[in-house]
Amino acid sequence: MGMKVNIHDTETPVKRSPGRPRSERARQAILISTLGFLEQKENGFANLTIEYVAAQAGVGKATVYRWWPTKAALVADAFASSVTQKLHFPDTGSVCEDIAQQMRQLVKIFRSRRGHIVSAILGAGQSDSTLISAFRDRFLKPRRVEAYATLRRGIVRGELPEALDLDHVLDALYGPIYMRFLLKHDGLTPEFVDQQCQLILHQTLPCVATRSLSKASGK
């Protein structure tokens, strides 16, 4: 099942064949074996072992630990690396459309087999602080930085008020997605995403901006 990779250096230099260096192929094999295990519904974070990952990837345990100091870091990186390209924010000229497109992609991922990995991370993370911390640092924070830039573009274009609490807005936008994902009390659909963006970015924020201007003018 795993891709066999010879990680032992030879004593004399050899010409590399075209393609990824051996170390990068080994790294990718480790990530793929981790994802493959966690995508199975019967598997969870607690069941995953470094020994299993190394065996499936055809490497030694030391090779795994060379890149990831903990199992939590490996799992968070495996998930992040598999979805990062799909979760970049576009620049369409409309802050609402930029956010909505990215949120639709996130919802699509949550509804796919990758969603089971997020469930495993969030579930195990309630009793394992290293796992939830790795998920925040390696997946959530990079997305957050991109989201800040997207909102700031909206501020520059005059779509959003200048005195905007970026974190509060992002929590209001994305919090309901995680709530529906975890509690499953209602559907995660593109229509829900559009309604959420309309509510927060088109209805709530203009009202906040109007109230702020009124206070500033003494009305």
Per-residue exposure over 199-211, b if at least 16 CB sit within 10 Å of its own CB, e if not: ebbeeebeeeeee
Environment class of residue 28 by beta-carbon count within 10 Å: exposed (0-12), middle (13-18) or buried (19+)? middle
Position 214 scores a pLDDT of 41
Which has the higher per-residue pLDDT, 3 or 152?
Answer: 152
User: How would DSSP label each residue in 40-58?
Assistant: STT--GGG--HHHHHHHHT
pLDDT at 22 over 70: no
Share of the chain above pLDDT 70, in %: 83
pLDDT at 125 over 50: yes
Tell which residue, 83, 25, 76, 84, has the closest CA to residue 48: 76
Position 111 scores a pLDDT of 94
pLDDT at 119 over 70: yes
**Interval 170-198 mean pLDDT:** 93
- Give the domains, in start order, of the chain with CATH numbers: 1-67 (1.10.10), 80-217 (1.10.357.10)
Question: What pLDDT, in 10s, does the model give residues 60-77?
Answer: 999 999 999 999 999 999
pLDDT tier for residue 19 given thresholds of 50, 70 and 90: very low
Position 41 scores a pLDDT of 82
Residue 155 CB neighbours (<10 A) = 15
pLDDT tier for residue 91 given thresholds of 50, 70 and 90: very high
**Interval 197-204 mean pLDDT:** 84
Kindly report the pTM of this predicted structure. Answer: 0.80
